[in-house]
Structure 1
Amino acid sequence: MEQCSGIPLESDFRKLKQFLILGGPNSVYHPHSVSHSSTKIDLSFIHRLIAGGRGKDVVRVIKQYSLEGRAAKQNAILRALAVCSTSSDLVTKREANRIIPDVCRIFDHLIKFIKFSQEDAVGKKWGRARRKAISNLYNNYPGGPMKLAYHVTKYRKRGNMSHKDVIRLAHVKPFNQEVQYILGYIIRGLNGANLNIHHPSPELESVKNYIQGVEEARRCRTRGDEAHLIHLIETHQLCHEHVRKEFLNKPEIWHALLQHMPIHAVIRNLNSLASNEVFNLYDGDVNIVAQKLNDLGLLNEARVHPFEILTAYFQHKSGERTARGNVFTPSETILCALEEAFYKSLKPRTDIFEARSVRMAFGIDLTISPSDCVVSAKITSRQAVTGILLELIRYVNTYHVLPFGASDICSPLPISPDDRLQNVENSLFVGGVESSNLTKPIDFAIRNQLEVNVFVLFTSKTYTEQEHYQLKDAMDRYRSQPWAGREPRLVVVDVVGNQSPISSYEEDFLRIEGADSQVVNVIKQFAVGWD
C-alpha cells in the first residue's frame, strides 16, 4: 500500500471522504454550526495525498461529491478545493482550477472558495488558471445570460465581497455583448452598462429589460409606488430579494411574488404569506401553493428534501411566524398538501443498501421531551425524530425500532414506512420517562441475537464521556457474538444539538449534534463506509 510519512494513503482517502461529507476532520456532524476557520482544521491528509502523487484523484473526488450532492456542508468541498487550487503541485493546481465552475455553481460558493484560497495562499497573487476559470464561470453561466442577470441582482453581495470585487480580482473579460452588459452594470451601474455596445441582439434586449426592471423595483419606496412595483414583479418575475423590505408586509406584494415563486421559496415563506393575510385575501393562492406541493416532478427537479417539508409542516401547524412573533390561523389545505408532499418526497430503497444487505436498529430515547426543540429548525425533537425515522426505514429491508427508557426493552415497535407522521409520533412517545440508558438497544440486540449492521440511537441528552465508554463496551460485547452483523457501526443522534466537548475519531462511530435535511444523507453514507 502506498504510504507518505508512514501513513497509508488509503487511510488518508478515507479521511478525505469523511471530511467532505461531514465538514470536519472527526466523527462528529454539527448540522447548524458555523463553518470552522482554516486554523482549527487539520487538513494534513490532503497535503499528504498530493505529496504522494494522488492530487488528481483528490480533485476527482471533490468534483464527484459536489456534483452528486453528497457533502452535508458545501464549505468542506470548497475548503478542500482551495487547498488543491493553491498547491505547489502544478498538476493538482491545474485540475483544481479546471473544476471551479463545476463546484462553485452559485455566487455564495464562489465567494467562500475565494476566501478559503486567500487564507491558504496569503500574499500570493492569483494565477492565470484561476482567473480564467472564474472568467469562464461568468461567461458560460448555467442557464445563460438571463440566469446570470437574475443571480447577480438577487445575490449582490456575500459577506464583505461583491460581484464587482470578484470581477476585478479575476480580470473577467466578457465573451459576448450580453455578458458585457451585465459586467458593465455590476461595475459602473445602469448608466455605464451600455458602453461599447452597438448592435444589440434580442437576448441582450431581454437582459437589459430585466435589469432595468430590477432597478425600477429598487427605486420604489413610497406607498404610492405599490401598483408600479406589482406591475414590475409580474412583468419580470422578480423575487422578494428584489423588493425593498418596507413592502414585504403588504399582502398584495406577496400575492404578486407568489405567482412565479420557486418551490423552495414557497416552502420557506409559507408563514410570511399566512401572517400577511395573503391566503385570507386571495383564495386562489392557497390552491397555487397546494398545486406546487402536490407536483412530484417539481419537488424532484428542485431536489426538495423531506426534512425541509417536514419543518415547514410543523412550523405552519404551530401558527407562529418566528421572525416577528406574529400568529396566524394555519390553512388546513396547505397542511394537508405539506404532509402529502413529505410522503411523496421520501425516496425508495437504494441499490447500494440492498446490495450490501444493510440491517439497522433504531433506538428511540423515551426521555426526549415534547418541549425540546431542534436548534434552528424550530420544530420539536420528537417531530424531528419521527420524520428522520420514517425516511430512514425506507432505505432498508430489515430494521428494528426499539424505544428505550430505564427498563429493558421488551419487543420492537411495529413501525411501517407507510405509517403517518402523527401515528408514528404517538406510537413512539407514550408517557414520560425519567431516565434512560443508551446501551439498552444494543443489549436487546445481544439478548435476541439480532444481526445489525448499524445502530442509530436518537436522544436529547448531552453526550458524556462516561456514556461514550459505556457504548464502546456495549459495541465490543456485540461484536464478540458469532451471529453479529458484519462490521457493526454506531450512530448517536442528539436531536436537540447539545454540543459535547468529546471528539471522536473511530471509524465505526458517528455522533450527530442536531438535526437538519442532511442527517439522513450522512447516516446513509456512514453506513456504507463513506463510499
Structure 2
Amino acid sequence: MDPASPPEQLSVVNEQALNSWGRSESAAVSLRRFLCYGSETATYSTKECALGVENALGLMQLIEGTRGVEVVDEIRRFNLEGRAVRPNPSLFALAVCSQHADCRTRQASIRALKDLCRTPAQLFTFVQYKKELRQGSGMWGRALRRAVADWYNSQDGMSLARTVTKCKHRAGWSHQDLLRLSHMKPTDDAVAVVCKYITKGWKGVQEAYADRENSEEVQKVFVYLEAVEKAKRCTDEQELIHLIEEQRLEKEQILSSHLRSKEVWKALLKEMPIAVLLKHLGKLTANKVLAAGSADVAAVCERIQDESALRKAKTHPFNILVASENYKRGHGKRSKLRWDPDRDIVQALDCAFSRSISTVEATGKRFLVAVDVSSSLSSVTHGSSISSVAAAAAMCLVIAQTEPDAQIVVFSEGSVRPCAVSSDITFMQIAAQLIQKTGLFSKLIVCGLIASSLSVADPEDRGMLDICGLDSQAVDVIRNFALDVI
C-alpha cells in the first residue's frame, strides 16, 4: 500500500497479508520491533528503512482488530521507557493511529502527542507523516489544531524561546506554519512573546513589548530573544562572547562565520552538550581551540569523565568509543581536517568509556558472546567508522561488566576457546586478546540434506558454499572447495 494513501484506504488492509501474521500476539511482537527500530522483521540494520503502511502490517492488524487504543498505549509506553532506538517509527505509527476511522484511536493518539513529540524536530516529523498519509488534504482538524497549540502552550516562555531558536524548521515545516495552521492562541504572556517572535519577527516583538511594563518572566524572554538577534548581527567578538555566556546561547544559534573564532568556540564549550562536544573534539584540536596543556583541555577532560553528566546525557559507551576512535585517527573521515591527538583528551576518552559502562542498565539475563576470530578483525564496522575488533571488544566488555551471568568465547576452524574478561580488564587489553586469536581463514558450507534450494551463501563470497542434497560427487565438491579449487 502506498504510504501516501488517502484516509479511507488506511482502514482497508489486504486480508491475505494480515492472515500471514497469524495470531495477534505475533502482530504485537511485530509492532514492538517496528517501534524499536523501524522494521517488523527480525533483522536490525544500521541503515534506516523507509517507513510506510505496507511495512507496518502488524500495526495495522492490531488497529483493525479494534485494539487501536492499546496500540497507542504501547507506542507511548515504549517511548517513555526508552525502548525505541529510533524516534521516527513511533511518530509514524502515531500518525497512522491518528488517521484511523475509529474515533477512540484518533483521540488517544492526539493525547499521546505531547509525550512523543518532546522536540520541535519530532513535532515537525509527526505533522509531515500526517500530511503524507492524508495527501495534504483535510489533516488540520480541530483535534490536531488543539494538540499543536497545547504543545506550545504547555512550555514556559524561556524553554519555548530556547527550543524554537535552536530548531526553526524540519521536514518541510516551520514554527510559523504550525502556529498559523493550528490557530494557536497563547495562554501565557511569556509564551505570547515567543509566538509574536515566530510570526512577526524581532521587529514585531520590539513594537509590542519594548515600551511596555512587562512582568519579570516576559522581560527575561524579551532579553533572551534580543540576545539571539544581536548574536546574528554582532561584529564585535567580545560582545558576542558576552552574549553567549550571559544567555547560554548554543552553537545552533550562532552564525557559521562566527565559528571561525577560537574565543567564540571557547565560550560555547562551557555549556556545550556532551554529545556535541564529542563530535567536535577533532575540529577543536585542529583549530587550536584545545591547545595541549591548556585550561580548556583540562576543563573538557573533566566534563567528559564526569559520570553523573554522562548518565544525565544518556551517553552510551559505544558513542564514546566511536568518538574516541575517530579522535585517535587524527583526521576526518571525509574532510581534509587533520590534527595531532592530545594525550590528555585520549586518556579522558578512555576513562569516559570505562565510566559510561556503569550507566548501562543490566537485563539480568544469561549471555554467551561468541566472537569469530577466524579472519581479520581490521575491517570497518558497517554503520560506523571503527574497526570490527574495536566494536567486538566494546560489546564483550560492556556485556561482561554489566550482566551478572555472561561468558565470552572466541571461535575459529571448529575450535571454541574462552576469553577471560575480568571486572578490571581494560578495553585495550580485551582488544589485544581478540587480535592475538585472529588470522585463521575459514570457510562455510551449508548442506541441506532434503532441500531443493538454498540461498544462505553469498555468490560473491568464495568462502561460502550451499549444497542441496548429498551424493558422492558432493564430497568431491566439498574437497575442491576446501582446497580453494572452486
What is the distance in 2 between the residues matched to 1:320 and 1:280? Answer: 17
Change (3 A) 1:394 1:438: farther
- Supply the distance in 2 between the matched residues of 1:99 and 1:283 (Cα, whole angstroms): 48
Structure 1 runs of 4+ with >4 Å offset: 194-199, 348-351, 437-440, 461-464, 466-470
Following the alignment from structure 1 to structure 2, what is the Cα–Cα distance between the partners of residues 245 and 462? 48
60, 85, 95: which is aligned to 1:47?
60
- Of 439, 442, 448, which aligns to 1:436? 442
TM-score (norm 2): 0.82
Specify whether residues 38 and 83 from structure 1 end up closer, same or farther in structure 2 by C-alpha distance, changes over 3 A only: same
- Aligned positions of 1:196-345 closer than 5 A: 198-220=212-234, 225-280=236-291, 283-322=294-333, 324-345=335-356
* Aligned 8 A contact 1:149 1:207 in 2: yes
Pick aligned residue for 1:147 from 146, 159, 176 = 159
Higher relative contact order (CA 8 A, sep 6+): 1
Q: Which runs of 5+ in 1 are unaligned?
A: 441-460, 471-531
2:108 equivalent in structure 1? 95
Question: Which one-letter code corresponds to 2:197 in the other structure?
Answer: Y
Distance 2:65 2:380 in 1: 46
Partner of 1:524: none
Distance in structure 2 (CA, Å) of the matches to 1:468 and 1:109: 46
Q: 1:329 to 1:281 in 2, by over 3 A?
A: closer
In structure 2, the residue matched to 1:415 is 421
| Cα pair 2:95 2:130 within 8 Å, conserved | yes
Aligned-partner Cα distance in 2 for 1:163–1:435: 57
Task: Report SS of the residue matched to 1:393.
Answer: helix
1:450-469 alignment runs, 5 A limit: none
Q: Which whole-Å CA distance do the structure 1 matches of 2:96 and 2:119 have between them?
A: 20
User: Does residue 1:400 correspond to 2:407, yes or no?
Assistant: yes
Higher mean alpha-carbon deviation, 416-425 vs 64-73, is at: 416-425
Of the three residues 131, 134, 140, the one matched with 2:145 is: 131
| Alpha-carbon distance in structure 2 between the residues aligned to 1:377 and 1:130 | 38
The whole-number CA distance in structure 1 between the counterparts of 2:29 and 2:466 is: 24
Give the superposition deviation at 1:163.
1.2
Does the C-alpha gap of structure 1 residues 469 and 194 become closer, same or farther in structure 2, counting only changes over 3 Å? Answer: farther
Report what 1:75 is aligned to.
88
How far did residue 175 of structure 1 move?
0.9
Task: Look up the SS of the partner of 2:408 in the other structure.
Answer: strand
Q: 1:361 aligns with which of 360, 369, 373?
A: 369
* Aligned counterparts of 1:462 and 1:384: Cα–Cα separation in 2: 27
- Number of matched residues? 435
Q: Give the conservation status (yes or no) of the 8 Å contact 1:84–1:96.
A: yes
Listed as ranges, the gaps of 5+ residues in structure 2 are: 1-14, 447-457, 468-486
The correspondence for 2:178, drawn from 166, 173, 180, is 166
Conserved? CA contact 2:79–2:116, under 8 Å: yes
Partner of 2:195: 183
1:381 aligns with 2:388: yes
With over 3 angstroms needed to count, the CA separation of the structure-2 counterparts of 1:375 and 1:199, relative to structure 1, is farther
- Give 1:350 shift: 5.2
SS at match of 2:369: strand
**TM-score of the superposed pair, with normalisation by structure 1:** 0.76
CA drift of 1:108 comes to: 1.1
- Cα gap change, 1:203/1:114 in structure 2, threshold over 3 Å: closer, same or farther? same
Partner of 1:28: 43
1:226: Cα distance to partner?
2.1
Tell me the distance in 2 between the aligned counterparts of 1:410 and 1:303.
35
TM-superposed CA distance for 1:267, in Å, is 1.6
Distance 1:419 1:125 in 2: 56
- Distance 1:148-1:438 versus aligned 2 partners, 3 A rule: farther
